[in-house]
Every structure is written in structure tokens, then in C-alpha cells.
């Protein structure tokens, strides 16, 4: 599963879920958290489990945060239905990931889901407290991506996330930088925050292009109309893919530490970058999930 475009759909809205599945998004996230009213949580959980059983191993589910009343009920209903991954919101530390991973271990074993089949994505910057410890490297092999959440973080800080020119407020931008570094250190994808206004395609395109240039692998989406621009931004051009293939040809397994390509020296750092490019290229075998 590539993680360029990830589209949210309220789990208690079956028609929206069906539209999301047919939208062409790389991943569909069935939401049990923000888009579901407290009184509808149980019904949403039932709907999500049914959707998963119809498409085992293909959908992501955003559960409610650890420490809330619905958290364990969400896990008990969702993991046996075999999601591709669990998205944990408001993750505050690596301990949250470790606890979640262990709980999934138990539920997989009890329900016959193949061991290790359920991945984990973390919304890792939604609170000020979450920024204290972002060392997720080696915590769990289930970890697939760290996701940047600007809106909840700004609410926690008591500020608006974006200035009038569209740029991020300083502490939100600092959290974004930290997430990129944490994801690279953990060897997983970094996923950018949703763009909040589906009626502003120019703003979406500008923010998405900046995210791709800064090293994000994909972006969370809140509307199907955002998918085309987001997917395009995180798909390398044919020229970039050709460059990556040539770097791999020159350095991978050749025993050489350096080579020359188009008059420029390339080395192992370029080989690492080339592999990342090929992992997101069309029709490549690389899997970002």
C-alpha cells in the first residue's frame, strides 16, 4: 500500500465510505474519532467492522485516543475484522505505540488474524505533550508512518495553525520539522496534515508541493476533490524515476562507494534517496505501507 493520498471517511456514513473506497485514494481511513458524535460511537464501530470484513486488509481505521472510554472497545471490534492498519490519534509518546502494539498482538492471536498483519500509523503531533518524546525508532515493527496534525496542535496551543499568507504559525512549523526528522529516524513515512479548505485548490497545491519538497511521503485528505493534486505531488516524475534507476544500477551491489552520473558524483546517500524515489514510483514493487 502506497501512502501518498489518505482520505478520511466517517465510519458511521456508509455512503461516504463507499465513495471514499471508489475515489482512487491510496488509503481510506474509516474515522471513529473526530467526525463521529459521542452518541454514535458504538454504531460507527459496528459499521467499520462490517466494512473491514467486506475488504479485509485494505482499510485503515482511526480509533479513539488511548485513555478514552471507546479506545479498548474500538480495538476489540476492529482488529478481529482485519484492518490494514490502526491510526492512533493524539499519540503522546512511544509508550502509547508500545502499548497499542501489544494489544494488537493479543487481538490478532485471539481472532485468527495473521500475526503482524495490522500496521500502525500515529498522529504524533496533536498535543504539546506529544512533542516531548518523538523517538519511535525500533519501538514496534508495526509502525508504518508518523502523521502531522496541525489543527489539534494549534488548538492545544491556543493559536490558529496558519497565518493569513497560508504559512504555518511558528510553533506548528517547529512541530512539523520535528515530525519529519522523527519519521526519518524511525525509517517510516511522514504524512502531512490535512489542508482544511476543499474550496481552495491553489492553497492545497502550494502546501502539498512544499510538503513533497520537504520530504513528506503523502498527505491526509478530507475531501475526494483533494486527491488528484495530492497524489500527483507525491508521485515522482518519469525523469526522477529514470535518475533513481540509474543510481541503483551504478551503485547497488557494484561494490563501488561512488560513481559519476551526468557529470556529478553520487554516493551511498544518493542510493538511499533513489530507493525512496522508486518506492513511490508508479508500477514499482516498493511498498510504503
The number of beta carbons lying within 10 Å of the beta carbon of residue 63 is 28
Domains plus CATH for the chain?
Answer: 5-233 (3.20.20.60), 238-279 (no CATH)
Q: Residue 137 pLDDT more than 90?
A: yes
126 is in an annotated binding site: yes
Q: Residue 286 pLDDT more than 50?
A: no
With cut-offs at 50, 70 and 90, classify the pLDDT of residue 287. very low
CA distances from 219 to 54, 63, 65 (A): 26, 19, 21
Q: Are 277 and 270 in contact (CB under 8 A)?
A: no
pLDDT tens-digit readout, 176-207: 999 999 999 999 999 999 999 999 999 999 99
Interatomic CA distance for residues 118 and 108, integer angstroms: 8
Per the listing, cell 459496528 goes with: 46
Q: Residue 155 pLDDT more than 70?
A: yes
With cut-offs at 50, 70 and 90, classify the pLDDT of residue 283. low
Closest CA to 57 of 97, 13, 1: 1
pTM: 0.91
Q: Are 3 and 190 in contact (CB under 8 A)?
A: no
Residue 160 is placed in which grid cell?
Answer: 490558529
15 is in an annotated binding site: no
Q: What percent of the chain has pLDDT above 70?
A: 97
pLDDT of residue 289: 37
The per-residue b/e assignment along 201-239, b for 16 or more CB within 10 angstroms, e otherwise, is eeebbebbeebbeeebbbbbbbebebbebbbebbbbeee
With cut-offs at 50, 70 and 90, classify the pLDDT of residue 285. very low
Q: In degrees, to the nearest 5, what angle opens at C-alpha 19 toward C-alphas 18 and 23? A: 120
pLDDT tens-digit readout, 224-234: 999 999 999 99
Interatomic CA distance for residues 30 and 9, integer angstroms: 5
239 is in an annotated binding site: no
Interatomic CA distance for residues 8 and 16, integer angstroms: 9
Amino acid at each position: 500500500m502506497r501512502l501518498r493520498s489518505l482520505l478520511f471517511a466517517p465510519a458511521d456514513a456508509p455512503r461516504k465510505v463507499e465513495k471514499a473506497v471508489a475515489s482512487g485514494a491510496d488509503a481510506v481511513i474509516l474515522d471513529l474519532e473526530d467526525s463521529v458524535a459521542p452518541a454514535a460511537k458504538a454504531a460507527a464501530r459496528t459499521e467499520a467492522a462490517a466494512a473491514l470484513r467486506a475488504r479485509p486488509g485494505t482499510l485503515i481505521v482511526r480509533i479513539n485516543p488511548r485513555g478514552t472510554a471507546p479506545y479498548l472497545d474500538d480495538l476489540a471490534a476492529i482488529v478481529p475484522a482485519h484492518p490494514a492498519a490502526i491510526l492512533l490519534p493524539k499519540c503522546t509518546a512511544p509508550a502509547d505505540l508500545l502499548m497499542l502494539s501489544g494489544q494488537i498482538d493479543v487481538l490478532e492471536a485471539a481472532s485468527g488474524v495473521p500475526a503482524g498483519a495490522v500496521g500502525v500509523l500515529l498522529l504524533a503531533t496533536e498535543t504539546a505533550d506529544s512533542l516531548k518524546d518523538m523517538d519511535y525508532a525500533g519501538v514496534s515493527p508495526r509502525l508504518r508512518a508518523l502523521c502531522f496534525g496541525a489543527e489539534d496542535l494549534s488548538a492545544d496551543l491556543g493559536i490558529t495553525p496558519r497565518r493569513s499568507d497560508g504559512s504555518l504559525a511558528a510553533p506548528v512549523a517547529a512541530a512539523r520539522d520535528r515530525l519529519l526528522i522523527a519519521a526519518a529516524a524511525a525509517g517510516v513515512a511522514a504524512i502531512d496534515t490535512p489542508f482544511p479548505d476543499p474550496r481552495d485548490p491553489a492553497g492545497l497545491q502550494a502546501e502539498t508541493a512544499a510538503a513533497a519538497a520537504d520530504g513528506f511521503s503523502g498527505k491526509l485528505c478530507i475531501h475526494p476533490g483533494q486527491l488528484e493534486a495530492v497524489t500527483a505531488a507525491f508521485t515522482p516524475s518519469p525523469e526522477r524515476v529514470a535518475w533513481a534507476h540509474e543510481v541503483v544500477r551504478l551503485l547497488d551491489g557494484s561494490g563501488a562507494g561512488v560513481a559519476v552520473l551526468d557529470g556529478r558524483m553520487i554516493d551511498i546517500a544518493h542510493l538511499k534517496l533513489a530507493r525512496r524515489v522508486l518506492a513511490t514510483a508508479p508500477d514499482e514493487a516498493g511498498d510504503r505501507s
